[in-house]
Structure 1
Amino acid sequence: MKKKSVGLFSLSLMMLTVACKKESVADKITDADMKAIQTENAIAGKLAKVKFDKEVHDFGTIAEGAIVETEFMVTNIGDSDLIIHEAKGSCGCTVPQPPKEPIKPGDSAPIKVSFDSKGKPGEQEKSVTLKTNTVNGHEMFKIKANVTPAAK
């Protein structure tokens, strides 16, 4: 009986730990869910719409090996919550950090972007693509830099 109680206690503790893990809305949404949300919102005539504070950020001239960061402010100017399902840089050197929770109509949120210039001498232009529940299903912005080669 004691062994069974310990087993049940362990199972209960494990379930409680898993159930309490904080996940964002974006972590739980699949591509199929995004399509369904887009379709439902389009039928209702309510769509999320994105406005960025800038389309391109130019870091100017930086030294090779520098890691630089910027922020793009995204505003939802649509009629339904904006969901950013996924954010990807055009290469591994560009890392976006989008908000994890939906952005309400009229609200804004930052998207942090870092660029690692190691091994990237010369003129650089990288893009960030967001999978969203907007009409297009995706949005994009860019970063640029002139990377001065490291001394050899």
Structure 2
Amino acid sequence: MKKFIGAALFLFGAGSTMAQSTPPPSAAVPSRSDSSTVSTPVVPAGPSIVFEEQKFDFGDIRQGEVVQHTFRFTNNGSQPLVISNVRTTCGCTATDYPKKPVMPGETASITARFNSAGKRGQQNKVITIDSNALQGSTQVLIITKVTAAN
């Protein structure tokens, strides 16, 4: 009798383990490969500034040279983008930026000029753009290596 109960418990335990590891056919989820669904780009519910590039490297320049680069950006948002201020890390860098609102979908630019007079070696200049964009302040970077003038 003990052998019979032991065998019954063994078979019951083995059966319940099998039931847990094999999903019932009704629980199988059919895979759906419907490629007709088109994703629509999400437009932010406010102004959004997106730069074509976040960084520009002038390469090697001679001390005393003035170089400039134009950073282009687009307002990818749904409301006008207003740039309130553009700040630089030192007086050697000057900027021009749009004073009028940039409408949704429009592209505009910020021009940065770097004067290397009195500078030597690696230069990394951060330009901070303050605006009403949803992401808050945005930064771009200009890089150069200033070599001694002959």
Normalising by the residue count of structure 1, what TM-score does the alignment of the two structures yield? 0.68
How many Å apart are 1:115 and its aligned residue?
Answer: 0.2
**1:102 aligned residue:** 101
How many Å apart are 1:149 and its aligned residue?
Answer: 1.7
Amino acid at match of 1:99: P
Amino acid at match of 1:132: S
Listed as ranges, the gaps of 5+ residues in structure 1 are: 1-44
* Deviation string, structure 1 residues 89-117 (Cα, Å, up to 9, x no partner): 11111111111111000000111110000
SS in 2 for 1:61: strand
Aligned residues between the structures: 107
* Deviation string, structure 1 residues 33-64 (Cα, Å, up to 9, x no partner): xxxxxxxxxxxx73111110110010000000
Flag the structure with larger Rg: 2
Amino acid at match of 1:124: Q
Identity %: 36
How many Å apart are 1:150 and its aligned residue?
Answer: 2.5
> Please, what is the CA RMSD of the aligned residues?
1.2
**2:53 aligned residue:** 54
Q: Mapping of 1:1-152 within 5 angstroms?
A: 46-151=45-150
SS in 2 for 1:120: coil
Listed as ranges, the gaps of 5+ residues in structure 2 are: 1-43
Amino acid at match of 1:60: G
Deviating beyond 2 angstroms after TM superposition, the runs of 4 or more aligned structure 1 residues are none
